[in-house]
Amino acid sequence: MPTPQVSEEEIVRQLATEIRILESSVTALQSRLEVVRAAISEVTLAHDTLEGLKNLQSGDSTLVPVGAGAYVRMTVADSKNHVMVIGAGVAMEKDVGNSVEELGSRLQDFDKARTAIRQQLDQTVARYQQDREALEELLRRRESTATKTR
């Protein structure tokens, strides 16, 4: 049984629909990538701060980042333990060394997520460009055919 011939008009509609879907996908992937980048920045700040705390002694004075480029001068009361949120709004006192390792592991996980999202984004953008070029070529041919028949 022969397959029905798809009209050029139908191909144009399909490509236009796919292009709109791909545009939405690109926007969503860019948003996810921004969220992961923000998380990496936050975890890096915490990791580096705790890493620096490991080198201090009780009674030492230091500047502690509080976000948005602001720092507070503090005197270290305990350089071996700190309080860290462990989930669901629950915080507990933890060993600085273990937390540094845990944050390092989180950074690796976020980096893998960033790489995976970036790959998806690159593939989606490539497909978008491919469809866009195909649509433009179809429209150019259609215009050229219409001009010749006049």
With respect to residue 51, please indicate whether it lies within any of the assigned structural domains: yes
Q: Which amino acid is at 85?
A: V
pLDDT for position 150: 61
With respect to residue 147, please indicate whether it lies within any of the assigned structural domains: no
The Cα–Cα gap between 68 and 98 comes to 26
Domain count of the fold of the chain: 1
The Cα–Cα gap between 98 and 131 comes to 50
Please tell me the pTM assigned to this model.
Answer: 0.80
With respect to residue 26, please indicate whether it lies within any of the assigned structural domains: yes
Q: What's the chain's average pLDDT?
A: 91
Q: Helices 96-148 and 8-54: crossing angle, nearest 10°?
A: 160
The Cα–Cα gap between 27 and 9 comes to 27
With respect to residue 30, please indicate whether it lies within any of the assigned structural domains: yes
Dihedral angle over CA of 68, 74, 78, 82, nearest 10: -20
Lowest mean pLDDT among 49-63, 104-118, 122-136: 49-63
With respect to residue 36, please indicate whether it lies within any of the assigned structural domains: yes
**Domain CATH for 111:** 1.10.287.370
pLDDT for position 7: 86
Q: Assess contact for 19 and 125: CB atoms under 8 A.
A: no
Residue 2 has pLDDT above 70, yes or no: no
At 19, list the tokens.
């292009």
pLDDT for position 86: 85
With respect to residue 1, please indicate whether it lies within any of the assigned structural domains: no
Residue 57 has pLDDT above 80, yes or no: yes
Structural domain for 97, as ranges: 8-140
List, for residues 91-123, the tens digit of each pLDDT value.
Answer: 999 999 999 999 999 999 999 999 999 999 999
pLDDT for position 9: 87
With respect to residue 54, please indicate whether it lies within any of the assigned structural domains: yes
Residue 33 has pLDDT above 90, yes or no: yes
pLDDT for position 147: 76
With respect to residue 82, please indicate whether it lies within any of the assigned structural domains: yes
